Amino acid sequence: MDVRAEALRVLQLTDPEAKCVAVTALFQAVQQGAAADPQATMSADDAALPGRPQRPRLVAATQVAQRSVHTVAGRAALLHAICHIEFNAINLALDAVWRFAGMPPDFYRDWLQVAAEEALHFRLLRDHLATLGHAYGDFDAHDGLWRMTAATASDIVARMALVPRTLEARGLDATPPIQARLAKAGDHAAVAILDIILRDEVGHVAIGNHWYLWLCQQRGLDALALYPELAQRYQAPRLRAPLNLEARRRAGFSDAELVRLEADSKA
Cross-strand pairs, 141 = 58
Contact yes or no for 179/212 (Cβ under 8 A): no
- Which pairs from 62-65 meet CB under 8 Å and 24+ separation? 63/140, 63/142, 64/139, 64/140, 64/141, 64/142, 65/139, 65/140
Q: Which residue from 146, 117, 88, 110 is spatially nearest to 36, judged by alpha carbons? A: 110
Model pLDDT for residues 94-137, shown as the tens digit of each residue: 999 999 999 999 999 999 999 999 999 999 999 999 999 999 99
125 assigned to some structural domain: yes
Contact yes or no for 142/58 (Cβ under 8 A): yes
Q: Read off the CATH number of the domain in which 25 is found.
A: 1.20.1260
Per-residue confidence in pLDDT tens, the chain, 267 aa:
799 999 999 999 999 999 999 999 999 999 999 999 999 989 999 989 999 999 999 998 888 877 789 899 999 999 999 999 999 999 999 999 999 999 999 999 999 999 999 999 999 999 999 999 999 999 999 988 899 999 999 999 999 999 999 999 999 999 999 999 999 999 999 999 999 999 999 999 999 999 999 999 999 999 999 999 999 999 999 899 999 999 999 999 999 999 999 999 988
235 assigned to some structural domain: yes
pLDDT at position 117 is: 98
29 assigned to some structural domain: yes
212 assigned to some structural domain: yes
Q: How long a stretch of residues is the chain?
A: 267
> How many distinct structural domains can be found in the chain?
1
152 assigned to some structural domain: yes
Q: Which residue from 163, 38, 41, 56 is spatially nearest to 102, judged by alpha carbons? A: 38
80 assigned to some structural domain: yes
| Residue 237 structural domain | 3-35+55-266
pLDDT at position 125 is: 98
- For the stretch 203-241, what's the b/e string if a residue is b when 16 or more beta carbons lie within 10 angstroms of its beta carbon? bbbbbbbbbbbbbbeeeeeebeebbeebbeebebeebee
Which residues, in sequence order, are CB contacts of 227 under 8 Å at separation 6+? 161, 257
Query: Using CA atoms, how far apart are residues 18 and 201, in angstroms rounded to an integer?
Result: 23
47 assigned to some structural domain: no
Query: Using CA atoms, how far apart are residues 122 and 88, in angstroms rounded to an integer?
Result: 9
Please provide residue 141's backbone torsions phi and psi, each rounded to the nearest 5 degrees. -145, 165
Query: Using CA atoms, how far apart are residues 2 and 150, in angstroms rounded to an integer?
Result: 23
41 assigned to some structural domain: no
Cross-strand pairs, 58 = 141
